[in-house]
Amino acid sequence: MTPRKIILGVIAICLAILFLSLGGWQVRRLSERQAHNAFLASRRFGPILALDSLPADTGEAHFRRVRVTGSYDYAHEIIYTLRGRNGSPGVNILTPLLRNGKETVVLVNRGWVYSPDGTTVDLNPWREADTLNAVGFVETFPTQGPFPKPNPTRPRAFRRLERAALAKQLPYPIANYYVVLTDSSSSASAPPRVEPLPLDEGPHRAYAIQWFSFAAISIIGLVIFIRRT
């Protein structure tokens, strides 16, 4: 075998090993995605719980379906800025929910509203009924920064929902989680609800097939080249 064939053979084998490694990595990513989807489905489609029956550990409460009841405090709404929807800029509206006999207030993400700059919006048209009895899922506040500081001219507009910073803007203690409503509303003043992330497998399967195909092409191409030369 000529030195040229040896060099090309080494290159082809190295490329095949690299492509197989990348394909195996995508298979592992697919497996992780499937396991995560199964975890989300077990909570997203699980029984509806009362807020007071949630586990104290926010990790255990995360994504669980809950029924929320109480009265909205529209005077202290929070704007969650730069929230896109179908390619359009907007914000999410988080409204404090006062519950009978409870000192701690729960923030409720009522949905998405279009905003040209993704930071400002007139909240007055988006007031629903004063009371709430609906279903949503539990979402947790981020614990790792960075946490951009709110604009002093819009102190209740937040790029990230840092719980400590939120608490400073509200006149009462807030829960260590918030609730994202999923129930639709017939009210014209109800913002479109935030849609949960889809439980799809992503592109990992297609990527794995692609990398395995490249590995096969490298080996098959090497064999054909050796036989013809």
Specify the 3-state DSSP secondary structure of 105: strand
Q: How far apart are CA 95 and CA 188, in angstroms?
A: 17
- The angle formed by the CA atoms of residues 106, 197 and 108, to the nearest 5 degrees, is 15
Specify the 3-state DSSP secondary structure of 159: coil
Using the predicted structure, report yes or no on whether residue 188 has a pLDDT greater than 90. Answer: no
Using the predicted structure, report yes or no on whether residue 228 has a pLDDT greater than 90. Answer: no
pTM greater than the 0.85 cutoff? no
* Average per-residue pLDDT for the chain: 92
| Tens-place pLDDT, residues 92-107 | 999 999 999 899 999 9
Rounded mean pLDDT, 9-36: 94
Using the predicted structure, report yes or no on whether residue 46 has a pLDDT greater than 70. Answer: yes
Confidence band of 2 (pLDDT split at 50, 70, 90)? confident
Rounded mean pLDDT, 190-197: 90
Per-residue pLDDT at 1: 63
Burial class (CB in 10 A: 0-12, 13-18, 19+), 228: exposed
* Cα torsion 218, 223, 227, 229: sign: positive
Specify the 3-state DSSP secondary structure of 151: coil
Confidence band of 31 (pLDDT split at 50, 70, 90)? very high
Confidence band of 38 (pLDDT split at 50, 70, 90)? very high
Q: How far apart are CA 175 and CA 123, in angstroms?
A: 23
| Tens-place pLDDT, residues 124-183 | 999 999 999 999 999 999 988 788 887 888 889 999 999 999 999 999 999 999 999 998
